[in-house]
Structure 1
């Protein structure tokens, strides 16, 4: 399918690996001029080099200042941004009863304020041209809070509320705003978590993975490319009537519609 994004510019945050990289690759493969970004500047450049017209930029998205620097650098490299894909690491694990004000401030900054600052920078151009795509790579914790990830649940739910309100405000201007929620996708991060779980439990990695896959109706972990393809579609011209949703790409893992 031609996604209708050839020649469009896209900034994909935290796209040197994992789900961000998968989404950036899918957009670039369909002709978008993609800015790959992340703390590993050399990796971002190497990813971008595989696609004509794409660039890699080193970036630190832990602060609003870092996010603005990335956005300004992206515009310098490729011009005004048509497609903005929000992504980034989550805050530390922890239970709700043990978080404090400092923890909440850090989580809110990384998962809400940083993302909002990027949207604020991108909106004027999108509104002027009457076309834009804003996609947040989030977490299934948005629809089913994950035990032990209280800070992530809080921060991402705050972002979800903001994005839903925004989607209602800008839809008539040709701009869509959506979230894409992963389940167990076989990224380096998940593989590392499985390896750690095996070491701590005394089980083999194969046993850990089999148990994880058993909890998924499809019976397997997802491939990052599968996730990236869904992300690219939500940023496409064809998805112009998909707005204000939190779509799951999880093999049916979360037991709600």
Structure 2
């Protein structure tokens, strides 16, 4: 049984990923910052899947927690085979409206935190001859959105880092990829659209309808649809998929 660590696993995309991996036969450890939410999610996931789902509190943006987290996982559940680097996004804001403290906070959460975990996990995966690392980013890295400046800038850096990492361990059976979700029916989307409505003085329902209409599919993704892409990249079937960005957005991104 392979062991998978899923960040942000209590809600939204992270929870859907955890469920998909659990149904696929993985031992899953979900992490996040809220113990009560994690414990509830783990209980519900165990009941739904019949698989071992565990939880550990971890703050991706805290510099000193990565080694402790992986040490606990290693001692309790064995080596890590799959690492899904997923976290909540920073607050919306235009590029010049974000102050230094906000940039630094987002930098720790979106870039440095995931890289700390990858730094600790990838060499051990390579030694064992199997590993899957999946960064959950955003379609904003391909089609920048002015109101999501920190996400655009820092997730673009994450995408570049993932590409570099994919070269280093490919010959050892390890892949590093990104899944870039578009509009997805999560609390994060509601936060973004609420901020957009407030900034423009429009009704929230109108902003939601406009956002959905901009997607060729005519709706946001369900978290399970993003999870399916992550689970594929985490599988043995994706052994020759490496260093890529899998966009899951209902056709919204206009770049080729």
TM-score, normalising length: structure 2: 0.90
Question: Residue 181 of structure 2 corresponds to which residue in structure 1?
Answer: 182
TM alignment of 1:180-219, pairs within 5 A = 180-194=179-193, 201-203=201-203, 205=205, 207-219=206-218
- Displacement of 1:191 in angstroms is 3.4
Supply the RMSD in Å over aligned alpha carbons.
2.0
For residues 112 and 213 of structure 1, do their structure 2 counterparts lie closer, same or farther at Cα, with a shift above 3 Å needed? same
Question: Residue 35 of structure 2 corresponds to which residue in structure 1?
Answer: 41
Assess if the C-alpha contact under 8 Å between 1:41 and 1:59 holds in 2. no
TM alignment of 1:1-257, pairs within 5 A = 7-49=1-43, 50-51=45-46, 52-194=51-193, 201-203=201-203, 205=205, 207-257=206-256
Assess if the C-alpha contact under 8 Å between 1:218 and 1:252 holds in 2. yes
SS of the aligned residue for 1:185 comes to coil
Partner Cα distance (1:57, 1:245) in 2: 29
SS of the aligned residue for 2:147 comes to coil
Partner Cα distance (1:194, 1:116) in 2: 29
For residues 213 and 100 of structure 1, do their structure 2 counterparts lie closer, same or farther at Cα, with a shift above 3 Å needed? closer
Partner Cα distance (1:16, 1:144) in 2: 28
Which deviations, in whole Å up to 9, do the C-alpha atoms of 1:196-234 show, x marking residues without a partner?
Answer: 6567745362x3332111100111111111111111111
TM-score, normalising length: structure 1: 0.89
For residues 180 and 171 of structure 1, do their structure 2 counterparts lie closer, same or farther at Cα, with a shift above 3 Å needed? same
Q: Which stretch has the larger CA shift, 91-100 or 105-114? A: 91-100
SS of the aligned residue for 2:217 comes to coil
SS of the aligned residue for 2:242 comes to coil
For residues 233 and 218 of structure 1, do their structure 2 counterparts lie closer, same or farther at Cα, with a shift above 3 Å needed? same
SS of the aligned residue for 2:146 comes to coil
Long gaps (5+) in structure 1: 1-6
Partner Cα distance (2:191, 2:99) in 1: 28
SS of the aligned residue for 1:136 comes to strand
- Displacement of 1:195 in angstroms is 5.3
Assess if the C-alpha contact under 8 Å between 2:5 and 2:28 holds in 1. yes
Q: Which stretch has the larger CA shift, 145-154 or 224-233? A: 145-154
Partner Cα distance (2:181, 2:168) in 1: 26
For residues 45 and 114 of structure 1, do their structure 2 counterparts lie closer, same or farther at Cα, with a shift above 3 Å needed? same
Partner Cα distance (1:61, 1:138) in 2: 15
Partner Cα distance (2:99, 2:4) in 1: 36
Partner Cα distance (1:213, 1:70) in 2: 38
Long gaps (5+) in structure 2: none
